[in-house]
Chain A
Amino acid sequence: MTRYLLNRAAGAVLVMWAVATLVFFMMRIVPGDPFAAMLFDSADPAAAEALRQKYGLDQPIYVQYVKWFWNALQGDLGTSIYGSRLEVSRLVMEALPRTLSLAFVSFVIAIIIAVPAGLIAATRRNTGLDHSVTVVAFLGLSMPDFWLGIVLIILFAANLQWLPAIGYVPLSEGFWPWLKHLILPSIAAGTAFSAIVARMIRSSMLEVLSADYMHVARSKGLRERTLIVLHAFPNALIPVVTVMGIAFAILMSGTVVVENVFAIKGLGRLLIVSIVNRDYAVVQGAILVVSAIFILTNFLVDMLYTVIDPRIRYSK
């Protein structure tokens, strides 16, 4: 197991290095001068030159890369060159709790909707209930999150005035203020995932329910509820957990559209704004963090397999 963990850690470092390197060079290949927009209003060519020197952008690209890589190894991701000029690590760490909150609540909402819906659809196969769940799931998948977000805002914020339309309040300011700002964006972000997970639970459950050991369990006289909850559902979880892991990783890397609609400055928005502004250091730093989140989530999902199915063992 230790060897397996070391292998995974080494693989993770390699993937992060590859991603960071790719992003570093891609950002410099795409057209657009990071100072052109910032200094558009300034007639002073010295200002652009001074900034280029200050941020080392006047140096050859390989020198920039080596410097950036060396600093990143020591935990220094550089500073933003556009606007705030704050450290990238600070910008990322300030955006992360918002993304984490949104991802967590979206994930919980997705699970709350998906698990019962998937189970009902599987156990009531080919009934009206199953068809209803299927239709609702397809609706959930088909609705663009920005559209759903706007509909939710108009309905619950503008008309009913039950929940705030926009913004984010940190958990430190209270649980309810935090949660009520997250309910609408989380429904918008989580609906599509709940539909995917519900469909996955349904198909996985149907496969398990038709397995021989389920027939044996049934013939032993087990109650249907015990059969489903204790025997079928845990065995149907492996593919579901894989999908849930991917969903969580995507939510964690920032749902840009939902963040825009609800004016929540999370990782996704930080990344998009930085790409548009050609804020190299922030893009590189944020993508490094996003790739770390993806790798960590994948790893946790793999570990979860061993909990769900004790037969699975990692030895290499």
Chain B
Amino acid sequence: MTKRTRKSHLADRQRLAETLKDAYDFDPRDPLVGLTRDQLSGSSLDRRTVLRLMAAGGTLTAASLLPGIGGPGTAHAQAGGTLTCGWAGVGELTTLDPHQINQVLLFQISSNIFGGLTHIDANLVAQGDLAESWTISDDGRIYTFKLREGVTFHNGDAFTADDVIYTYNRAIDPEKSIHGAVVGNVASVDKLNDLEVQFTLKAAQASFLVKSLERSSGRAMAIVSRGAIEQMGDQEYGLTPVGTGPFKVLPRQLGQGVTLEKFENYYDPERPKLDKVVIRPIIDAEPLAAAMEAGDIQLIGGNPVAPELVDRFLANPDLVVDEVAAPGFQSVWMNPHRDPFKVADFNKSVDELKQEPGFKVRLAIAKALDRERYIKQAQFGRGRPAFGTINPAMGFFFDEALNESSEQTFDIDAAKQLLADAGYPDGQGFPEIKILTTPAQRREVQVIANILSRNLNIKISLDTKDFPVLIDDFNSMRWDMCRLGSGGDFDPDDGLVDWMRSDSKFNGRTRDKEAMPFGFFADAKVDALIDEQRIAPSLDERKRLVQEANKITSDKVASAFLFHPADIQVRSTRVNFPAESRIPGLVDLDRVTIS
């Protein structure tokens, strides 16, 4: 190390220490952790505010403050060049129209093409994207955004408040968009002037900036180009969409993947760094691995990398394997309207529920589900046990203690006792039940069946169906057990509102409502807590309410929560992927460089 770099290294260390000290400089009893309301909601969150929130949530480490991933094998590249990516687990990138896409692997791409009013950062906190700043009314219902000046679409059209309104109107048109519900809480959108727009909500919604306006996760409000849509038509727009994002899409044919090119007039002149990004869909795991090892591709995006490949990648000195918590949860659902899981009403205390045979069986299965063993055998050690919908990528809201405090905590003896109390001592007389799954998940669901068979001496057979059939059955509650979960959950609402409310969109949406008054779970207290957290006056209060609701769903076995997946990014050592772009679940390439 030269004298000069040693000096700069010391300066870096000192700066790091000072930043850490400042982040933790607050009274832990203060609900606003030493921040003002303006700092929290008045504009895009600054670095200091984010670091303070991370410190309060216990997720801040020195590593979070480093500018890049660091460590051996990190590339130190200049701007320019072409990055070729393999998009895992997908045969075709059909449409990139944000109003039509519903897969994480597609909004990973659209996030590089479109801008939104906000965009989450690596800590899942909303930052201004096309919105420069915003104010929120005291009742939390009116959001006024000041738009970034001088932003243009890829086709040269200027971005104004009219585009926000056009995007909103297209998002709520069921013929054009499948995401109308994401902005279902919006009462109106009004243009104040070319660079100011106002959203009025029907009710306050704490998740509005992340869940409804975020450019990738919400999809509804990824800003689309009216001029391009009118010129190209909806179908062509899906193939080569025009947005305001860092990359533009080159003309393409279906089946040929997608090539993105640097958008020279992006609002941040420092981004994007790469000249070109080539995205190739690769459906099978082995060819994907071979393409990576051959150097045909330098980064893997798309569906999660097959866990059985991770150790192989780790052993390759030319590759970097970067693992963070993924924003999602996976569960084993039990139908409360079918034996032996019957529960007529969840609106009782846990102790009261424990008197019912159906609940005893549910709890027995949840407690016998050896999640560590499952993760080791089915996920090759990647991921962490889940006890609720709130995932560890949400850092601030995640309840670290739930694995100890939940009724679902692994306890084989208690599980056996519960099963015996329900009338099935050592599994005797337990009916043969089926677990609904897809062909792709057969292997890992077999692991679940084996664990339960080994621990409770019960027999569970697999009922394998194509995904559209599984979804149809799941929505109609035509299943004994079902293995299903959620990804792209960036806000607590993605877990609680979407899954755990009695009227949530996944909760037996198309069931026979006369025969089944509720879906897989319904609890009035959980509903009330979910409603309350949406209008919580402070982040700490919201966190408390979220964690309380989460714990009830866990204790009352809304499902046997299984695991939180890991987001594993594999890339060549030639690729420098800065930490600030490492947003769980996404593949933002605007700051990425290649040597």
| A98-B255, A150-B287, A166-B282 known; A276+B235 contact, CB < 8 A | no
Report how far A195 CA is from B179 CA in the complex, Å: 52
CB < 8 Å: which of A84, A154, A276 contacts B468?
A: A276
Report how far A166 CA is from B283 CA in the complex, Å: 11
Tell me if A57 is interfacial: C-beta within 8 Å of chain B. Answer: no
CB < 8 Å: which of B94, B254, B293, B468 contacts A37?
A: B468
B residues within 8 A CB of A264?
Answer: 255
Tell me if B284 is interfacial: C-beta within 8 Å of chain A. Answer: yes
Tell me whether A273 and B91 are in contact (CB under 8 A).
Answer: yes
* Of A44, A51, A83, A153, most B-chain CB atoms within 10 Å: A83
Report how far A265 CA is from B92 CA in the complex, Å: 7
Tell me whether B94 and A82 are in contact (CB under 8 A).
Answer: yes
| A33-B472, A46-B180, A54-B175 known; A263+B290 contact, CB < 8 A | no
Tell me whether A84 and B239 are in contact (CB under 8 A).
Answer: yes
Tell me if B281 is interfacial: C-beta within 8 Å of chain A. Answer: yes
Tell me if B238 is interfacial: C-beta within 8 Å of chain A. Answer: yes
| A47-B180, A166-B296 known; A157+B102 contact, CB < 8 A | no
**Across the two chains, which residue of chain A brings its CB closest to B475?**
A36
Tell me if A278 is interfacial: C-beta within 8 Å of chain B. Answer: yes
Tell me if A261 is interfacial: C-beta within 8 Å of chain B. Answer: yes
Chain B 411-427 against A: per-residue CB contact (8 Å), 1 yes, 0 no? 00000000000000000
A residues within 8 A CB of B235?
Answer: 79, 84-86
Tell me whether A95 and B280 are in contact (CB under 8 A).
Answer: no
Q: Please give the number of chain B residues whose Cβ is less than 8 angstroms from any Cβ of chain A in the complex.
A: 50
Tell me whether B296 and A164 are in contact (CB under 8 A).
Answer: yes
Report how far A306 CA is from B280 CA in the complex, Å: 46
Tell me whether B280 and A167 are in contact (CB under 8 A).
Answer: yes
**Across the two chains, which residue of chain B brings its CB closest to A161?**
B294
CB < 8 Å: which of A42, A79, A84, A261 contacts B505?
A: A42
Tell me if A212 is interfacial: C-beta within 8 Å of chain B. Answer: no
Interface members, chain A 166-190 (any B CB < 8 Å): 166-168
Tell me if A284 is interfacial: C-beta within 8 Å of chain B. Answer: no
| A85-B238, A262-B287 known; A44+B181 contact, CB < 8 A | yes
Tell me whether A85 and B100 are in contact (CB under 8 A).
Answer: yes
Tell me whether A39 and B178 are in contact (CB under 8 A).
Answer: yes
Report how far A41 CA is from B235 CA in the complex, Å: 21
CB < 8 Å: which of B180, B238, B281, B284 contacts A84?
A: B238
A residues within 8 A CB of B287?
Answer: 149-150, 153, 165-166, 261-263
Report how far A163 CA is from B513 CA in the complex, Å: 58
Tell me whether A43 and B254 are in contact (CB under 8 A).
Answer: no
Tell me if B49 is interfacial: C-beta within 8 Å of chain A. Answer: no
Contact-size category for A: 35 or more
Report how far A262 CA is from B471 CA in the complex, Å: 29
Chain B 149-173 against A: per-residue CB contact (8 Å), 1 yes, 0 no? 0000000000000000000000000
Tell me whether B180 and A36 are in contact (CB under 8 A).
Answer: no
Chain B 279-309 against A: per-residue CB contact (8 Å), 1 yes, 0 no? 0111110110011011110000000000000
Tell me if A34 is interfacial: C-beta within 8 Å of chain B. Answer: yes
| A42-B179, A165-B287, A263-B280 known; A276+B467 contact, CB < 8 A | yes
Tell me if B466 is interfacial: C-beta within 8 Å of chain A. Answer: yes
Tell me if A207 is interfacial: C-beta within 8 Å of chain B. Answer: no
CB < 8 Å: which of A37, A46, A94 contacts B255?
A: A94
Minimal beta-carbon separation of B88 from chain A (angstroms): 11
Minimal beta-carbon separation of B293 from chain A (angstroms): 4
Report how far A50 CA is from B86 CA in the complex, Å: 35
Report how far A261 CA is from B284 CA in the complex, Å: 6
Minimal beta-carbon separation of B143 from chain A (angstroms): 21
List 18 additional A-B contacts (Cβ < 8 Å) besides A82-B94, A94-B254, A277-B468. Answer: A36-B475, A37-B471, A42-B505, A45-B509, A46-B180, A47-B174, A50-B175, A80-B94, A83-B238, A91-B254, A150-B286, A158-B291, A158-B294, A165-B296, A263-B282, A263-B287, A264-B255, A269-B91
Q: Which A residues lie at the B interface, using CB under 8 A? A: 31-34, 36-47, 49-51, 54, 79-80, 82-86, 91, 94-95, 98, 146, 149-150, 153-154, 157-158, 161, 164-168, 260-266, 269-270, 273, 276-278
Q: Lowest 7 A-B CB distances belong to which pairs?
A: A265-B255, A83-B94, A43-B505, A50-B174, A43-B181, A32-B468, A32-B469
Q: Which B residues lie at the A interface, using CB under 8 A? A: 86, 91-92, 94-95, 100, 102, 174-175, 177-181, 184, 234-235, 238-239, 253-257, 280-284, 286-287, 290-291, 293-296, 465-469, 471-472, 475, 498, 504-506, 509
